Structure 1
Amino acid sequence: MGKNMASSLLLLMAALLFCAELVSSHVNIEDHPTDSQVVKGPNRRLMAFVDCGAQCKVRCGQHSRPKICLRACGTCCSRCKCVPPGTYGNRHLCGRCYTDMVTHGNKPKCP
């Protein structure tokens, strides 16, 4: 084996060790949620991450029927990626997705 071939082999082994170290020390993405997520489908776009559970709990905190409010809020949040601030009103701040969603009875769905 020539000197040139031996140095190439050492370089290749060093590169493989480096790659193995990178793979073994990778960070799991689920352990560290990002601030955004990709929406799949024909209209792909990057949308901000929203903690629907926590924000809906605040939104429905003073509602007379909190379980129904939480269910509707969770659906609206997962579809629109937004929950209006406060416990009432401000629906326009989440845009048309949130304001235009209606129930089967043609009433506003999102709290």
Structure 2
Amino acid sequence: MDTATARTRLEATLAELDRSITILKGEHPERELSAADAGSNLSDSDRVEAALESLGRHRNAVDAALARISAGTYGRCLGCGKPVPEGRLEVRPEAARCVTCQSKHDRAMR
């Protein structure tokens, strides 16, 4: 994927993520709970927090991909330095590693 197309897709993804984060934060502001509310809202609160964490990680990956475009390193695996396959970048333009290196990275993070 050429970098202009990647940048356009990544910037659109970043805008969507920002909207989603804003909506989730706006719909579930921090508030005091009565004892009766605590049980039912805890699971809601936990789900929202997990979603926000996931969206935040995705946003960081998109930001990092945009930085790699600016640095001229986009499309090169951070693990082995080889080109990330075109098909992988089509599906996940924020991908920083080839599938093999991503698998190794994921296992190391566990």
Larger radius of gyration: 1
- In proportion to residue count, which structure has more helix? 2
- In proportion to residue count, which structure has more strand? 1
Name the TM-score, length of structure 2 as normaliser.
0.29
Higher relative contact order (CA 8 A, sep 6+): 2
Name the TM-score, length of structure 1 as normaliser.
0.29
